[in-house]
Amino acid sequence: MTLVEKLGNEFVITTELGPVKGVQTDEAVDKASGYLPLDGINIHDCPMGNLRINAIMMGSVIQNKLSIESIPHFTCRDRSLLGTQADLLGAYAMGIRNVLVTTGDPPKHGAFSESSKAVYNYNTLELVRLIKKMNAGLDYNDKEYGGQTAFNIACTALPTTKDIDREISRMERKIDAGADFFQTQVVYDADKAVKFAEKAKSLNKPVIMGIMPLKSLKMASYMKDNVDGIDIPDHIIDKMKDGIDGIGICCEIIKQVYPYYDGIHIMAMGNISGTNSIIEYVNSLKTTQ
């Protein structure tokens, strides 16, 4: 079964490929081969405006060498409308079937802040509509281009937002545009995650919840105070002070949200052993619930 076929029928597990250094793809593939069985691997598209190998190309490498479905991120930041369509046709020809649509971090965050200019020829909703149109064999101008793609379109969601109704409305617009499933941003507040999932159930689209193991109390405190969109409750900080590590905290959260989501997306920054510990825990839940 493919990832999309599993969604809604069984609890899926996805993770992310750690940073690839230049063209050292073999090193990245060797490391990723250490993961326990997964349903998908995300590949970032120059995150934080930093230079990385093309996500589509790397996604194809992962699929060919590891036989794991890839979910390359596809941003609005770097491509013209023409270039976008060309890249999507190329992605499909290379066997890519899943894409996660994002706005993309502006170049100002990265090493090329002075020399690289963002394109933003379209927004995420427009990109989703374009991909859906290409799935029907039509280009941006509604002209047949020869054949058709068959992409599964993923979009992001924010469960810890202060205004859940507004976020649900945004998700509805993404679904109207053509979104097939959602991957959420990082969640540390299980109660908020459950409330969000109960609201999102009415959308009838699979939602995979994002989780990131906290490496240290220092990291947790910094993210709580400085990172927008990430909500770390005080009780999580207290657990870390009591000696519970980030992997253990993730497993506790997953246990609470497991009945409400269609899967989890593990963002462990290339930590293979930590990711595998979480995979093992989820697999144990599958056998007991």
What is the per-residue pLDDT for 31? 93
pLDDT tens-digit map of 192-226: 999 999 999 999 999 999 999 999 888 888 888 88
Among positive and negative, which fits the CA dihedral 183, 184, 189, 194? Answer: negative
For the chain, percent of residues with pLDDT exceeding 90: 79
pLDDT tier at 112 (50, 70, 90 boundaries)? confident
pLDDT for residue 289:
66
Query: Is the pLDDT reported for residue 83 higher than 70?
Result: yes
Tally of domains within the chain: 1
Using CA atoms, how far apart are residues 94 and 91, in angstroms rounded to an integer? 5
pLDDT band at 138 (very low <50, low <70, confident <90, very high): very high
What tokens were used for 172? Answer: 């509805």
Reported as a single tens digit per residue, the pLDDT across 242-282 is 988 999 999 999 999 999 999 999 999 889 999 999 999 99
Instruction: Give the integer Cα–Cα distance in Å for 49 and 110.
Output: 4
Share of the chain above pLDDT 70, in %: 100
CB 42 within 8 A of CB 101: no
Q: Which domain holds residue 62?
A: 3-288
Alpha-carbon distance 59 to 45, whole Å?
11
Between 90 and 228, residue with greater pLDDT: 90
Q: How far apart are CA 210 and CA 9, in angstroms?
A: 19
Q: What's at 45, amino acid-wise? A: D
| Secondary structure of residue 49 in the 3-state scheme | helix
Mean per-residue pLDDT of the chain: 94
Say what the pLDDT of residue 114 is: 75
Residue 36 to residue 68: CA distance in whole angstroms? 11
Q: What is the pLDDT of residues 8-36, one digit of tens each?
A: 999 999 999 988 999 999 999 999 999 99
Tell which residue, 46, 54, 63, 108, has the closest CA to residue 83.
54
- Are 21 and 79 spatial neighbours (Cβ–Cβ below 8 Å)? no
Q: What is the CATH number of the domain that holds 113?
A: 3.20.20.220
Distance between CA atoms of residues 42 and 71, nearest Å: 4
pLDDT of residue 51: 86
